[in-house]
Amino acid sequence: MTLSAAEAEQWIRRYRRPAPESRLGLVCFPHAGGSATYYSPVSAALDPSYEVMAIQYPGRQERRHTPCIDDIGELARQAHAALAGAGIGGPGRSVALFGHSMGATVAFEVALLMERDGTGPVVLFASGRRAPSRFREDNVHLRDDASIVEEIRALGGTDSRVLRDRELLEMVLPTLRSDYRAVERYRRGTDTRIGAPIVVLVGDSDPHATREEALAWRDHTTGHFEAHTFPGGHFYLEKQQEEVLGTVTEVLGRLHP
């Protein structure tokens, strides 16, 4: 799949002009129902020597009229094509990938595609997500609207004003259902591995990714593996932003000095 530069830019958001000395790109992948703007604070807080970019999936915000993609493999293929079309992650443009929840799974699939092309990421940060080979028989995408709302309310991470606004809910529920359908149907075995290091980040009380399930990411790399646990639930990183960014900065400085 090939995308033009203009088509590619529909997928990529930058919230700060990169510094001239930027030496590495950090490409961030949102969670189910999430959008690129979730990573705007990361862009503002991370050292300007790193160029932060966020992937904007179809079906949300300014892309709300573009049909959602309810298959992780296809979502990853199009995101990968967008990065390639924008010249990101190719020769001379080293990148790291960061994904939270569903975004970790999409980032893993993008890493596989990048390595197939011979230009894999420096590291994959997998946050708040169990390993690709750890399955749960979840069925959120088959529930009624009220049950989906209760699910996202319990997890946190969604502005409570959205959950109280019927018009906004009607806009975001199809996207949520599509994303849950994609991630709940996703399957990979332990024989699927990348060569890039994997760094896992997980909340110590995350109901969707226990520490044991997160540690199973070690089965999906032939390279370096490490794990970091933080206080909190599924969206632990919102209250632990300083600590999380400190970990990301330390790892990037060590793996890509």
Known catalytic residues? 101
Candidates 96, 101, 128; CA nearest to 248 is 96
Angstrom distance (rounded) from CA 219 to CA 192: 8
Question: What is the H or E stretch that residue 133 is in?
Answer: none
φ, ψ for residue 67, nearest 5 deg: -55, 140
Order of strands across the sheet that contains 225-230: 12-14, 50-55, 24-29, 95-100, 124-127, 198-203, 225-230
* CA angle, 112 then 60 then 242, to 5°: 70
The four Cα atoms 56, 59, 60, 66 give a dihedral, to 10 degrees, of: 80
Q: How long, in residues, is the chain?
A: 257
Residue environment code for 110-141, b if the CB has 16+ CB neighbours within 10 A, otherwise e:
bbbbbeeeeebbbbbbbbbbbbbbbeeeeebb
Angstrom distance (rounded) from CA 79 to CA 209: 24
Candidates 87, 188, 179; CA nearest to 131 is 188
The answer for 109, left when phi > 0, alpha when psi is -120 to 50, beta otherwise, is alpha
The answer for 19, left when phi > 0, alpha when psi is -120 to 50, beta otherwise, is beta
